[in-house]
A and B are shown apart, each in its own frame.
Chain A
């Protein structure tokens, strides 16, 4: 059984190790977010921009949230379930939102950047959705 002094020493070790780990995690997450913003500015196409926004921004935010989770676990002594819930929620919903956006973009005729072969267009036409008509009459 630990004495109080040993427990405090253990907490000191955990804090000493945890501090640079948290620092590295949150800075890495911020760098990933900046890279995704760079992709959102520079990519030539809605679909490529969705690729930058969905994947790397989600990973960056997950890094920052894991850092915050470790921070409150180490310094408050118990894990925060709300941050865990936020991590799960972002992890589940960000890909869904990106998918819905790309789907809406394709079906309303937003032009693609370079295209060798579009197999989705005839498949959608069989279901009654005409992308060529949507391209002729752009929504925006």
Chain B
């Protein structure tokens, strides 16, 4: 077993440990933003895992998966953060003012 192969195995084990640690925060996290932060970190670690896996299998077939996971994790994080902050993901402009049915907690800007 070459040194590179050994390093890849060690890397996969360490990244799994990191994802398990983030999973603890997702399950326990006292606030919603804790969970979102940990989920975002899980997505970022998953990108690294896929890169190491494609190096181990010596194929470039998984690189699109890497990009897709990156994009989906980012969009999911942004959508969750906006939902928690404003109560809506996509904001509509109402002419007749705020009637309160969209759960908006903060003032409109």
Interface residues, chain A, with chain B CB atoms under 8 Å away: 19-20, 22-24, 26-27, 29-31, 33-34, 36-38, 40-41, 46, 49-50, 53-54, 57-58, 60-61, 64-65, 67-68, 71-72, 75-76, 80, 82-83, 85-86, 89-90, 93-94, 96-98, 100-105, 107-108, 110, 127-129, 134, 138-140
Contact = CB atoms under 8 A, between A and B. Distances in A.
Contact of B3 (A19, A86, A138): A19
A57 B45 contact: yes
Contacts of B77: 97, 100-101
Interface of B: 2-4, 6-8, 10-11, 14-15, 17-22, 24-25, 30-34, 36-38, 40-41, 44-45, 47-48, 51-52, 54-55, 58, 60, 63-64, 66-67, 70-71, 73-74, 77-78, 81-82, 84-85, 105-107, 109
Contacts of A138: 31
Contact of B78 (A22, A83, A97): A97
A19 B106 CA distance: 54
Given A41-B25, A53-B38, A64-B52, A101 B33 contact: yes
B18 A36 contact: yes
